[in-house]
Structure 1
Amino acid sequence: MRIDYRKASPGAFQAMLGLESHVQSSGLEHPLIELIKTRVSQLNGCGYCIDMHTKDALAAGETGQRLHLLAAWREAPFYTPRERAALAWAEALTLIAGRHVPDELYAEARRHFSEKELVDLTIAVIAINGWNRIAIPFQPEVGSYQPPAAGGS
């Protein structure tokens, strides 16, 4: 690791953990959150975060098949309409420069998510983009993450 960001700026790290805590307690389904975190991390090329969130997803019961095909989710029949709307939303927000968020995409997201859920989904996308932008430059060791033990914190 280039810089241990947790120690170098504990206040910033705690702020990020606060955002993460909100996402986890938002009421969004945990499997959906892990799919979003994994897909956004793929788009951003964050090896540490891809490793972390695929491990967390598998530990939570996600299938290897769905994780392996996540980069090609539009072609794979294994995702629900709600998951597809969330993945499209997450991609649009992550790749927002020059594209913005088309009305059609917003309308599709609203068909599957309440106002609160869509705001919380947006916060989840913001959070993982933030984590990616911390992990990529400071390079924590890819593969070193271990999911918490079942029933642990």
Structure 2
Amino acid sequence: MNDPRRVIIGKRHPASYKALITLSQEVEESAAAAGLGPLLIELLKIRASQINGCAFCLRMHTRDALKKGENPDRIAVLPGWEETGYFSEAERAALRLTEAVTRVSDGHVSDEDYNAAAALLTEDQISAVSWLAILMNAFNRVAVTSRYPVNG
């Protein structure tokens, strides 16, 4: 819910927000260059946003994923990805690493989570997934702090 008393921090400091947008473009390019497909990139953004409870980013990236051809069932079961057969082993590794980076306050990125990713992803992919999670966590915090409106 939008609170008119909240400062929209992206508008209050537009240069900072523009720098985040520029970082976003670089992270997306690096992820694609590392071999992460556009659907996986959107799923990772959605998963971080689910964990952070960012309705604004959830709506945006779900729409983006659907426009790019993502299966609605995969989006629907994303919070329970570990219990489904919808995701490849590499996608599972990327989701697990995204969750670990997003939940860093729960005990850092464990060796178990990192090693699971390293067993299936290249170093470039590990870096790209990590940067995507870092980026989405930043965007989620901007939207949540400012209470970006999400209306039906």
TM-score by length of 2: 0.88
**Structure 1 residues 24 and 98, CA, compared in 2 at 3 Å: closer, same or farther?**
closer
Pick one of 111, 121, 125 that aligns with 1:117: 125
Cα distance between partner residues in 2 of 1:23 and 1:30 = 12
Matched, 1:85 2:89: no
Q: Give the one of 2, 12, 15 matched to 1:11.
A: 15
CA RMSD, aligned part only? 1.5
Cα deviation for residue 143 of structure 1 reads: 4.7
Counterpart in the other structure of 2:141? 133
Change (3 A) 1:36 1:143: farther
Percent of residue pairs bearing the same amino acid type: 37
Partner amino acid, structure 1, of 2:19? A
Number of equivalent positions: 144
Runs (4 or more) in structure 1 with deviation over 6 Å come to none
TM-score, L = length of structure 1: 0.87
Tell me if the contact between 1:48 and 1:143 (Cα under 8 Å) persists in the aligned partners: no
Q: 3-state SS of the aligned residue for 2:105?
A: coil
- Out of 57, 62, 86, the position equivalent to 2:70 is 62
For structure 2, list consecutive stretches of 5 or more residues without a partner in the other structure: none
SS in 1 for 2:104: coil
Q: Determine which structure has the larger helix proportion and give its number.
A: 2
Distance 2:97 2:20 in 1: 21
Kindly state the Cα deviation for residue 22 of structure 1 after the two structures are TM-superposed: 1.2
Mapped to 2, the partners of 1:143 and 1:43 lie a distance apart of 20
Structure 2 counterpart of 1:147: none
Structure 1 unaligned regions, length at least 5 = 145-153
Q: Please state whether the residue corresponding to 2:95 is helix, strand or coil.
A: helix
